[in-house]
């Protein structure tokens, strides 16, 4: 197996400079060809993914649309070119003496290992955001396929490979491996220069240990565990409690709760208005059918963590989804409740699946004390009324410190792929200062290089004299292309 | 001691949101006040630094100029504002359905621990680049003072503190600790959110292990070991060998070789022109006086590593600086020589101080084989003639893969602080995708946050509707302020 990995990483290392030399335009063409080809094979892809996941055709069709969209969006990023952070400081006098001509731009970091996620067999897997952002950056990619959808992985890999080879892509542009040992070997391989990972905290930690033991530690971008707290104020509870309860349960049960942004903890005020919200949510959860876990591991963990949570002191199970559905790997939605004052660290463990804890709070002080004890998340959400300006401001500041995305009067599931998106937050939600969704995800696979007093022919086209067609900072001043 | 550290980090954590709220304008004022105050106390600072380092008044005066300059440059970065990477995606239809209003900007990461370096008691120490880039980002800083210049550290800390307090800065904006244990405790402290470190590979590795053992691993920006190879082509050797030899020896002996960008390995072609270059360099090294090590550790390591290098098979000592100088901690410049074909990994260990190995090569193949075996560095340099386009192109590509700055016909010491500078490279030169010199150093201490459907009053000023006075990406299009 090590031989097989070495062959792949060697090919990727050889492809790396070639892929860089092809330039932005070629890579944009590649990404659009990949998107076109995925779209052209929509029926096949959705059918295979449907046969080996429990997500259903509608969700998988939407996910394929998103997968093509994000490949095309990175093509736009390449067209536009400001991701290069191109800068030119002309030679001249400085307070420290004469300065040389310095030209800086981001360059590809080298071959990237991408770990596919179980819950998005397309958009966070072989043809997913990590892969297309790394290819956009100019980095060859070797994907470690997720064992929950091997055939979807193979099919989408073949489709991407064909699209790439029709464009005469360098060999080694794309590779794929299967199995945990192959994944570990990939992360340890000296030719791999960065890792993109979406998965569990324990899996992420294990890979991070491999990174730490390398002779040259490399960037590891892990998207790990996230609680995604929601705070509902008393005023919002009174004004639109039913609507909030309905939105919440829809968000909890979407994709059977197997989304990184599923709200796992909801603060609802004590008192009768709060009681109504909780009762309505409990009704809806009680009526909800069981979903299907993506794999054995998620199924087992859902049962185990769910059981652990419900046995914690002060925590009670207040609703559970219908028992009537049949079949393997069923996971039933669960609503738990606890007093915010009794919310311990044990109760803030992520339970991947359709489970949520409602934390009832008596006062803003109690709420803020509890928020202060929470781990960081990908998202934090506030439901409040427009009149509550001071409360909203304070909550937004608290949640901003604990999350990468702060939402108002919405629900965190459904992450738009766009320029201003952030899907990342402080540990344990991610371990990086970057996003794994949206255009700036490309920054993870780039590093800066400065050329000093370089002849024009050595410079990348974007750093040569004259208009380069990309935004550049020239002698400190940002300039847009003509 | 742990109590003392906790008090400092607690104060820093409390100061963090306050410092952020003060806004860019206040922080720019702070940085300019710090620069003014450092300049105003120039004589005192240089005198104290001169009394406890061996760098001399001229170098220290220049370093103070640079230190003030970089604080002011980060004030300009704040004025200009594109470091925020502000982006607004308005709500609207997307291929995945209706999209929300998303607004993204970088926010301060939280309290930062900065480890002062011995070789720049000002510019890479208490008032140095890490400190001012973190303050610019909006992060409180606790500096671990370098034991080689405690009084300079105390004095510059007091000056910065006074400047800050005259501006009514939040308590906890700046802290200082002394001693290795205090430094380790700082890196382990849960309130510290990033580390800036300039020092040895072993020191960096030890701190990185502490980071890895934290419950929440944090970004560690280490600037560690660098060989800074120079390649001289046969044509350049013939055309301007003397000039190259003179420039080289000046670069090796500057600050007694105690610079991260000191060239440690120089490829010179075999044959008579190369022999002349080596002979001239050997003459100059032989005439050079001994320098003084900044501390015992550097003095001992220089002797030890230098001895080890000169005993390697095939390596010979060809020149050594004058024995005549007296005093403690003397380190004598040394020129070693080896055949490029015999250049082993052992011979590419960084020897911090005025030592350099000349590697003689017989052919381009031999040169490229040897370059392929080198570890990565902060810099890589090519001396060639304009006619050698193909050779230059190929060498530039090889060095770019191994360095963060590629120089042409110059020497790597003397790192200009500017917008387009990169002082960083692949491991072991740094472990990051960032620079520690120049304006983009600020990115190390920031993380992205997105606000979704936020009311205007919650947003940072730069993300509100209307002209915000900073460059922003609006619906994917970069726009400069009016």
Q: Select the residue of B110, B406, B457 nearest A452 (Cβ to Cβ).
A: B406
A480–B478 C-beta distance less than 8 A: yes
A427–B216 C-beta distance less than 8 A: yes
A102–B449 C-beta distance less than 8 A: no
pLDDT value of residue B482: 82
Chain B residues touching residue A96 (CB < 8 angstroms): 62, 65-66, 69, 416-417
The H-assigned helical ranges of B53-96 are: 57-80
Q: How far apart are CA B237 and CA A404, in angstroms?
A: 55
pLDDT value of residue A229: 98
Q: Select the residue of A17, A85, A104 nearest B397 (Cβ to Cβ).
A: A17
Chain A residues touching residue B218 (CB < 8 angstroms): 427
| Helices B57-80/B129-137 angle, 10° precision | 20
Q: Select the residue of B65, B107, B427 nearest A217 (Cβ to Cβ).
A: B427
Ordered per-residue pLDDT tens for chain B, 482 residues: 678 999 999 999 999 999 999 999 999 999 999 999 999 999 999 999 999 999 999 999 999 999 999 999 999 999 999 999 999 999 999 999 999 999 999 999 999 999 999 999 999 999 999 999 999 999 999 999 999 999 999 999 999 999 999 999 999 999 999 999 999 999 999 999 999 999 999 999 999 999 999 999 999 999 999 999 999 999 999 999 999 999 999 999 999 999 999 999 999 999 999 999 999 999 999 999 899 999 999 999 999 999 999 999 999 999 999 766 678 899 999 999 999 999 999 999 999 999 999 999 999 999 999 999 999 999 999 999 999 999 999 999 999 999 999 999 999 999 999 999 999 999 999 977 999 999 999 999 999 999 999 999 999 999 999 989 999 999 999 999 98
Chain A residues touching residue B400 (CB < 8 angstroms): 107, 449
| Helices A180-188/A201-213 angle, 10° precision | 40
pLDDT value of residue A326: 73
pLDDT tens across A442-475, in order? 999 999 999 999 999 999 999 999 989 999 999 9
pTM tops 0.95? yes
Q: Which residues of A are catalytic?
A: 223, 260
pLDDT value of residue A1: 64
Contact status, residue B224 vs residue B431, Cβ threshold 8 Å: yes
Q: How far apart are CA A363 and CA A350, in angstroms?
A: 25
Chain B interface, best mutation among A377, A450, A468, A480, by max B CB count within 10 A: A450
pLDDT value of residue B326: 73
Q: Which of B37, B63, B139, B223 is catalytic?
A: B223
Q: Nearest C-alpha of chain A: how many angstroms from B239? A: 18
Chain A interface, best mutation among B10, B12, B448, by max A CB count within 10 A: B448
A386–B95 C-beta distance less than 8 A: no
A453–B408 C-beta distance less than 8 A: yes
Q: Select the residue of A94, A407, A418 nearest B453 (Cβ to Cβ).
A: A407
A406–B17 C-beta distance less than 8 A: no
Chain B interface, best mutation among A129, A211, A452, A456, by max B CB count within 10 A: A452
- Concerning whether B260 is annotated as a catalytic residue, the answer is yes
* Nearest residue in chain A measured CA to CA from B59: A96
Q: Select the residue of B94, B452, B480 nearest A410 (Cβ to Cβ).
A: B452
pLDDT value of residue B198: 92
B95–A65 C-beta distance less than 8 A: yes
pLDDT value of residue B328: 87
Q: How far apart are CA A83 and CA A175, in angstroms?
A: 25
Contact status, residue B175 vs residue B12, Cβ threshold 8 Å: yes
A216–B212 C-beta distance less than 8 A: no
* Nearest residue in chain B measured CA to CA from A433: B447
Could you tell me the domains of chain B? 2-224+431-479 (3.40.605.10), 229-408 (3.40.309.10)
Q: Select the residue of A96, A440, A475 nearest B65 (Cβ to Cβ).
A: A96
* Token pair recorded at residue B53: 């380092």
Chain B interface, best mutation among A448, A454, A468, A473, by max B CB count within 10 A: A448
pLDDT value of residue A323: 66
Low-confidence stretches of chain A (pLDDT beneath 50) = none
pLDDT value of residue B146: 97
Q: How far apart are CA A70 and CA B254, in angstroms?
A: 51
* Token pair recorded at residue A282: 């409990």
Q: Is B393 helix (H, G, I), strand (E, B) or coil?
A: helix
Chain A residues touching residue B432 (CB < 8 angstroms): 219
pLDDT value of residue A432: 75
């Amino acid at each position: 197996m090590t031989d097989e990995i070495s062959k792949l990483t060697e090919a990727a290392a050889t492809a790396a400079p070639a892929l860089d030399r092809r330039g932005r335009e070629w890579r944009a063409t590649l990404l659009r060809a990949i998107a076109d080809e995925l779209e052209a094979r929509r029926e096949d892809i959705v059918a295979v993914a449907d046969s080996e996941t429990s997500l259903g055709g509608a969700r998988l069709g939407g996910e394929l649309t998103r997968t093509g969209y994000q490949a095309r969006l990175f093509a736009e990023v390449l067209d536009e070119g400001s991701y290069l952070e191109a800068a030119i400081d002309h030679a001249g006098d400085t307070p420290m003496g004469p300065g040389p001509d310095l030209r800086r731009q981001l360059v590809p970091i080298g071959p990237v290992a991408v770990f596919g996620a179980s819950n998005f067999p397309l958009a966070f897997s072989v043809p997913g955001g990590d892969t297309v952002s790394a290819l956009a950056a100019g980095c060859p990619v070797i994907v470690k396929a997720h064992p929950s959808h091997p055939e979807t992985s193979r099919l989408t890999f073949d489709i991407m490979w064909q699209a790439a080879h029709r464009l005469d892509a360098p060999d080694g542009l794309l590779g794929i491996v299967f199995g945990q040992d192959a994944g570990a070997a990939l992360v340890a391989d000296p030719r791999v220069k960065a890792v993109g990972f979406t998965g569990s905290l324990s899996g992420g930690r294990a890979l991070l240990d491999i990174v730490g033991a390398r002779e040259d530690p490399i960037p590891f971008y892990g998207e790990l565990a996230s609680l995604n707290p929601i705070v509902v104020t008393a005023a919002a509870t009174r004004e639109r409690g039913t609507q909030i309860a309905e939105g919440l349960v829809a968000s909890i049960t979407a994709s059977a709760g197997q989304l990184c942004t599923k709200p796992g903890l909801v603060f609802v005020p004590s008192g009768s208005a709060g009681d109504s919200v909780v009762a309505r949510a409990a009704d809806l959860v009680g009526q909800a059918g069981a979903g299907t876990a993506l794999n054995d591991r998620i199924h087992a963990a859902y049962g185990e963590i769910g059981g652990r949570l419900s046995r914690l002191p002060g925590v009670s199970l207040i609703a559970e989804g219908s028992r009537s559905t049949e079949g393997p790997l069923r996971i039933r939605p669960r609503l738990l409740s606890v007093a915010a004052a009794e919310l311990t660290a044990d109760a803030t463990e992520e339970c991947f699946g359709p489970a949520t804890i409602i934390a009832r709070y008596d006062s803003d002080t109690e709420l803020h004390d509890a928020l202060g004890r929470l781990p960081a998340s990908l998202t934090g959400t506030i439901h409040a009324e427009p009149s509550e300006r001071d409360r909203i401001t304070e909550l937004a500041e608290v949640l901003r410190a604990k999350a990468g995305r702060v939402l108002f009067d919405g629900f965190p599931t459904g992450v738009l792929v766009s320029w201003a998106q952030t899907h990342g937050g402080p540990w344990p939600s991610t371990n990086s200062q970057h996003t794994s969704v949206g255009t700036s995800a490309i920054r993870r696979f780039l590093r800066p290089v400065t050329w000093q007093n370089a002849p024009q022919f050595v410079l990348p086209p974007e750093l040569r004299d004259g208009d380069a067609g990309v935004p550049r900072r020239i002698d400190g001043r940002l300039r847009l292309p003509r």
